[in-house]
Chain A
Amino acid sequence: MTDRTFKPQPEPDGDVILEVEDLKVHFDLDDGLLKAVDGISITVRRGRTLGLVGESGCGKSVTSEALLRIVPRPGRVSGKILLHRRDGGQVDLAKLDPTGREIKDIRDGEIAKIFQEPMKAFSPVHTIGNQIIKGILLHVTRDKNEARDIAAEMLTRADVPNAAERLSAYSHELSGGLRQRAMIAMALSCHPSLLIADEPTTALDVTVQAQVLQLIKDLQGQFDMAVIFITHDLGVIAEMADEVAVMYLGRIVERADVDTIFYQAHHPYTKALLASVVDVGREARSKLATIEGTVPIPLNLGKGCGFYSRCPIAKDGICNREDPPAVEVGEEHYVRCFKYVYPDEWGQP
């Protein structure tokens, strides 16, 4: 069952669905400039899953809001968010009017999102059927009966028992696991080419989590979707992701395929995260590695590496003077750490 020599071969590149370049989300607040997302670049391919990992406050969720252009005020989005559309065209989402028609077409139609808390996705005063059908009528068909059939079929595919009857249920009438399935059914009812899953299983019990993860994988296969999976749980990442981007303080500090992240991590933050995992393979009650301090608030930050204040190998005069550039340390493996820019300063690279 356990094969430690197994190294997954990279599959041939799927079509690129989304290219994000130098994405920034800044908030002009009374207290100063808050850089929630500060220049991230990611690529997402059809049928593949990109895992976005990081602790709270690192900018994972704001990134997903930026992709859908639902960043709350006074957030400013800049950079490039290139979506390859179904009709073969391309559109830069960062340039669109966030209240305009085109982004509304794309939202839920081509890019859908599921949340940690499904109560957020559903209105409490409309039946889940009405809400799913509304999306289908907007993006797929104008025929109400057909829309109803599609909604029931999606619920069935999401393993919701008695799907046709559940259409007339309100969200509060469903259990947590069922609500999560209904939200997934709603998100996928318009066959999006990209699904953003923001901590979708964090609030669930392990057995229900296993069901929901399996469901997302199955549906991803059926619809050949790209998935951006946002979580702080490295166990879930190991299971779901093909590629992983590790975020810290609004930046991606390391990016590589999942095997490389877990077995050849380079960035001190990635290493520290992996070392702090409580895992059934670890000796019980042994002292866990920890990262001193907490994630700083990205308000009025000076120049330099964001991890400087907590980094065990930080060097004064190097790490706190300018922002570390992304260095390619292996094939498709990028790290933002001065240790790989000036290896001599740290002795052995």
Chain B
Amino acid sequence: MSIRAKGQLVTERVVEMMERVGLDPRYLKRYPHAFSGGQRQRIGIARALATNPEFIVCDEPVSALDVSVRGQILNLLVELQNQLGVSYLFISHDLSVVRHIAHRIAVMYVGKVVEVTETGELYQDPKHPYVEALMSANPVADPRRKVERIILSGEIPNPANPPPGCSFHPRCSYAQELCRQQVPALEEISPGHRVACHFASELDLRGAVR
């Protein structure tokens, strides 16, 4: 359905959208600075939904929010997707948040996808050494769960001047000569699970702690 409306119809639609994202329509005439961070994120979501899109790009939508408010926004996004059937491309550096919301995850490193698969599989059985390190670095809110961290040395390379071969090889503890010379292709190692690592099928990597 395309939306081309004027005057009263627009207002009705805006009110509908505000209610849908949990904002009081009485605040219709307020300016953005009069809202809290969580409310502003709701406004952003309402605006994104206003034209009935099929696909929404969510770029770090909850990173700046406090934990209690982050829960509200994640609940809202899940609920809206269940109601409206929209697709999300959800961009985040927070592994716990993407695991919560995503059905499928692609992990990027220096401009390339290094691994892509279903969410559950990625966390239980990662095949790329960078993904293994990411999983182990993610802090877990449980003082009794002592995790053996993989501390990567060095930093993410400058994408203008990436290392030869596999971009991850200078920081990878499994790297071999081949990795320094040849860029690994993103290959399917099982149905729906693609990895860009020369040794993906040989390495025995650890998933996220459970």
Write the residues of chain A forming the contact surface with B, with a CB cutoff of 8 angstroms.
Answer: 1-4, 6-8, 55-56, 175, 177-178, 205-211, 213-214, 232-239, 241, 258-259, 262-263, 272-274, 276-282, 284-285, 287-291, 294-295
In the complex, the chain B residue whose C-beta lies closest to that of A211 is B151
Q: Is the beta-carbon distance between A1 and B143 smaller than 8 angstroms?
A: no
- Of B72, B123, B149, B209, the residue contacting A210 (CB under 8 A) is B149
Interface-central residue, A4, A177, A206, by most chain B CB under 10 Å: A206
Query: CB distance A276 to B68 under 8 Å?
Result: yes
Determine which of A205, A211, A279, A288 lies in contact with B141 in the assembled complex, contact meaning CB atoms within 8 Å.
A279
Question: Of B5-13, B89-97, B177-185, B192-200, which stretch is located at the interface?
Answer: B89-97
Q: Are B93 and A239 in contact (CB under 8 A)?
A: no
Q: Are B140 and A281 in contact (CB under 8 A)?
A: yes
With A280-B99, A284-B100 as given contacts, are A239 and B152 in contact (CB-CB < 8 Å)? no
A-side contacts of B119, CB under 8 Å: 284
Which residues of B lie under 8 Å from residue A208 when comparing CB positions? 155
- Lowest 9 A-B CB distances belong to which pairs? A235-B139, A210-B137, A288-B71, A291-B68, A55-B66, A290-B71, A276-B71, A234-B141, A238-B143
Residues B147 and A1 in contact, CB atoms below 8 Å apart:
yes
Tell me if B71 and A289 are in contact (CB < 8 A): yes
Q: Is the CB of A277 within 8 A of B141?
A: yes
Partner of A294, one of B36, B94, B99, B133: B36
B123 and A280 contact, CB distance less than 8 A: yes
B43 CB contacts on chain A under 8 angstroms: none
B152 adjacent to A211 (CB under 8 Å): yes
Contacts A276-B68, A294-B36 hold; do A209 and B74 have CB atoms under 8 A apart?
no
Q: Contacts A235-B138, A279-B140, A287-B75 given; indicate if A55 touches B209 (C-beta within 8 A).
A: no
Q: What are 17 A-B contacts defined by CB distance under 8 Å?
A: A206-B95, A210-B136, A210-B139, A210-B149, A210-B151, A213-B139, A238-B139, A259-B143, A273-B67, A274-B141, A279-B141, A280-B96, A281-B142, A284-B120, A287-B78, A290-B72, A291-B68
When distances are taken between beta carbons in the complex, the residues of chain A under 8 Å from B210 are 2, 280-281
Q: Give chain B interface residues in 103-152, CB to chain A under 8 Å.
A: 119-120, 123, 133-134, 136-149, 151-152
Interface residue? B48 (CB, 8 A): no
* Chain A residues near B140 (CB-CB < 8 A): 235, 238-239, 279-281
Contact B144 A3 (CB under 8 A): yes
Could you tell me the distance in whole angstroms from the C-beta of A170 to the nearest C-beta in chain B?
18
Docked CA distance A258–B143 (Å): 7
Assess whether B142 is in contact with A262, with CB atoms less than 8 Å apart: yes
Min CB distance, A254 to chain B, in Å? Answer: 15
How distant is the Cα of A272 from the Cα of B72 in the complex, in angstroms? 12
Number of B interface residues in the complex (CB < 8 A): 47
Please report the C-alpha to C-alpha distance between residue A161 and residue B15 in the assembled complex, in whole angstroms. Answer: 56
CA–CA, A196 and B141, complex, Å: 21
- Whether B66 pairs with A278 at a CB distance below 8 angstroms is no
Chain B residues, CB < 8 A from A213? 139
B156 in contact (CB, < 8 A): yes
Evaluate contact between B148 and A1: CB separation under 8 angstroms: yes
Name the A residues within 8 Å of B70 (CB-CB): 276, 278
Closest to B138 in A: A206
- Please state if B95 and A280 are interface contacts (CB–CB under 8 Å): yes
Q: Does residue B170 face the partner (Cβ distance < 8 Å to A)?
A: no
Cross-chain contact of B101 among A4, A233, A285 (Cβ < 8 A): A285
In the complex, residue of chain B having the shortest beta-carbon distance to the beta carbon of A209 = B137
Is the pair B71, A278 in contact by a Cβ cutoff of 8 Å? yes
Q: Which of B68, B120, B134, B136 has the most CB of A within 10 A?
A: B68
Q: Which residues of A contact B78 (CB under 8 A)?
A: 285, 287
> Given contacts A175-B155, A208-B155, is CB(A285)–CB(B144) below 8 Å?
no
A6-B138 in contact given A175-B155, A284-B99, A285-B78 (Cβ < 8 Å): no
Q: How far is it, in angstroms, between the C-alpha of A2 and the C-alpha of B209 when the chains are bound?
A: 8
Q: With A178-B155, A273-B67 in contact, do A288 and B75 touch (Cβ < 8 Å)?
A: yes
Measured between beta carbons, the chain B residues less than 8 angstroms from A207 are 133-134, 137, 152
Docked CA distance A290–B208 (Å):
25
Chain A residue with the shortest CB-CB distance to B207: A280
Nearest-CB distance from A43 to chain B (Å)?
20
Please report which residues of chain B, range 73-99, place their CB below 8 angstroms from some CB of chain A when the two chains form the complex: 74-75, 78, 93-97, 99
| Interchain CB contact under 8 A, A205 and B66 | no
Collect the chain B residues with CB atoms within 8 Å of residue A285's CB.
Answer: 78, 100-101
The interface centre, meaning the residue of A6, A259, A290, A291 with most chain B CB atoms within 10 A of its CB, is A290
Tell whether, in the assembled complex, residue A206 and residue B137 are in contact, meaning their CB atoms are under 8 Å apart.
Answer: yes
